[in-house]
Structure 1
Amino acid sequence: MTTPVPNPRSTPQSSVRTATGRSPAANWLIPAGLVLLSVVPVAAGSLRLAELAGGPPIVPDGDRVTAAPVALVTHIVAVTVFSLVGAFQFAPGLRRRHRAWHRAAGRILVLCGLLTAGTGLWLTLFLPPAAVDSELLVAIRVVVSVAMAACVLVGFLAVRRRDFAAHRAWMIRGYAIGMGAGTQFFTQLAWLAVVGPVTASGRTGTMAAGWLINVVVAEWVIRRRAVAGRRRHDAVRVS
């Protein structure tokens, strides 16, 4: 008796799985979400660049930050590339089918990540703080900038020695820190909705919360991937 072979065309899309165990659609859910998270800070950066090019002032705090145009433009361009291109590094199918693209994009992201962290640190240390910037927030920004640079650098060194698990983990951490502005948009919206106008303490708390949320999510993703990897390894050994 011949066992019937399912017709691929009649197979529900949700039952199709890639080699990673995810449906093709799921491979793009995370990159799409990260691009959406980047929309507000990227838009704000574009408006700031237009202002520097002679356009009308739209984004607040222009008089202060435009005093360092080279560092500001470098920061905006670097973090825009880092956030948008980096989002597609989270598509497993794209990484698997286009390894050359993944490697080339990775080199660009390392450079942009270091430029983002370095210019962020420079702007923090050498520009006067805004009216609602507390000394604690300045200190947090310094720590965050150094931590982001360290994560990206350690991730790069890990892939050079072909430690791909450590490379993924450290680059996820660096990317999570770099995406802080996207999450901070929502934490500040929550503050405005519940408390009211943002004060110095409110700005410190909402910005710190944005970075903290991203770091916690990153660590959850890293540990989840590690557990899944151990389970696949154990399954192969048993079989």
Structure 2
Amino acid sequence: MSKNWLIPAGLVGLSLIPVVAGSLRLAEFAGGAAVLPDGDRIGTQALPIVVHIVSVTVFSLLGAFQFAPGFRRRNRGWHRIAGRTLVPSGVVAALSGLWLTFALPPGAFDSQILTGVRVAVATFMTGSLLMGFVAVRRRDFPAHRAWMIRGYAIGVAAGTQAFTSAAWLVAIGPVTTTGRTVTMTGAWLLNAAVAEWVIRRGRPGGAVRRRARPSPPAVPVPRAVPHS
């Protein structure tokens, strides 16, 4: 695999965690076996959940390919078409998640703090994607890139939450109410921090800092004057 595809492949792998879980939930709604927990709790909101799963799947998988610079440069038309799908799917994913936050009864380990975090995250993701759309309409491509990276990082945090939950389980034990709040919030914060690092790294100032310092100019050595 070329270096150009390492990041997209990693993002696809991260996205597959919630995508596979969502596929199992869709199969359950279609009459398949119930293999995931909370089936009874979420059954009353089947339609919003289907909308959320489909929009998250499109957003996370399609967005991963926007991080392949070579592919994006060679397919500028595809990049624009994908962007027109990416922004609406991301906004729908965020708003449907916000709807489910209030429409579903709290889970066994959900807290009021986590509810507040979910509201803030959904609002931030929606705002980021809309700011990215406004920026590209103004042809402010650096701002467009930054806002889209922020929105995408928040949108794929469900994959990161699987790893933070596993780390809690190994280090501390079974997830509790506190553990669920910490692991989910921590995953969003981690993704947000990585997004800001990527954005900063791509700015012209960051590129200057990464270049090696130029060597100092050579000092001319005076020639010896021959004696007569």
TM-score normalized with structure 2 length: 0.89
- Does 1:37 pair with 2:14? yes
Q: What's the CA shift for 1:229?
A: 6.8
Match of 1:111 among 61, 70, 88: 88
Match of 1:49 among 11, 20, 26: 26
Question: Larger Cα Rg: Structure 1 or Structure 2?
Answer: 2
Q: How far apart, in 2, do the equivalents of 1:95 and 1:42 lie?
A: 24
- Does 1:204 pair with 2:177? no
Q: How far apart, in 1, do the equivalents of 2:206 and 2:190 lie?
A: 24
**Which protein has greater RCO, CA pairs closer than 8 Å, 6+ apart?**
2
TM-score normalized with structure 1 length: 0.85
Q: Aligned pair count? A: 210
> Counterpart in 1 of 2:218?
none
Q: Which ranges of structure 2 fall in alignment gaps of 5 or more residues?
A: 212-228
> Counterpart in 1 of 2:215?
none
- Does 1:148 pair with 2:125? yes
Q: How far apart, in 2, do the equivalents of 1:198 and 1:230 lie?
A: 42
Contact residue 18 and residue 159 of structure 2 kept, 8 A: yes
Corresponding letter in the other structure for 1:79: V
Q: Which stretches of structure 1, 4 residues or more, deviate above 6 A after TM superposition?
A: none
Q: State the secondary structure of the residue aligned to 1:131.
A: coil
- Does 1:136 pair with 2:109? no
> Counterpart in 1 of 2:75?
98
Q: How far apart, in 1, do the equivalents of 2:187 and 2:49 lie?
A: 21
> Counterpart in 2 of 1:162?
139
Q: Which ranges of structure 1 fall in alignment gaps of 5 or more residues?
A: 1-23, 235-239
Deviations 1:196-216 (A, max 9, x none): 111000000000010000000
Corresponding letter in the other structure for 1:102: H
Q: How far apart, in 1, do the equivalents of 2:204 and 2:187 lie?
A: 26
- Does 1:213 pair with 2:190? yes
Deviations 1:27-73 (A, max 9, x none): 11100000011111110000000000011111111111221111100
